[in-house]
Amino acid sequence: MGLFDRLTEDMKSALKAGEKDRLSTIRLLRGYIKNESIEKRRELTDAEEIAVLVSAAKKRKESIEAYAHAGRDDLVAKESAELAVIQSYLPQPLSPEEIENIVTAAIAQVNAKSVHDLGKVMTIAIQMAAGRADGREINAIVRKKLAD
């Protein structure tokens, strides 16, 4: 069962259970996936569907940070609840050790020698992480390894 189908089934169960917040978030996610599919004029692959959810989760994290800075605890709670629902559909994030292994493999693959090869390494490392790690975290590890 694909992610979109799983969201549809969970939407039905949330509707029956009367879980309004979860239902609205799931509907929103289905809308994001549909919009992306329409934009690309084809069905999305599983990796593309996950990328849509990763983007939605990133937006929520940024909003939480901004609302917390502004002292809007009510909006922080709302965004946090949506983030929790989104994360329940995402694959488990990679551990720092796993990210480091991916970065090491990417450096070896492109034969990177210095920070000038950062772009090449990042492209490969982000593909290998497949949405299971934050780009900033990968970037920090790549920079650290290439600086050595």
Domains observed in the chain: 3-87 (1.10.1510.10), 96-147 (1.10.10.410)
What would the DSSP string read from start to end of 11-33? HHHHHHHT-HHHHHHHHHHHHHH
Residues 135 and 122: their CA atoms lie apart, in Å, by: 8
pLDDT the model gives residue 132: 85
C-alpha to C-alpha distance for 132 and 130, rounded to whole angstroms: 6
Question: How confident is the chain (148 residues) per 10-residue block, as mean pLDDT?
Answer: 91 96 96 96 90 92 95 95 95 90 92 88 89 87 87
Query: For residue 114, what pLDDT is reported?
Result: 85
pLDDT value at position 47?
Answer: 82
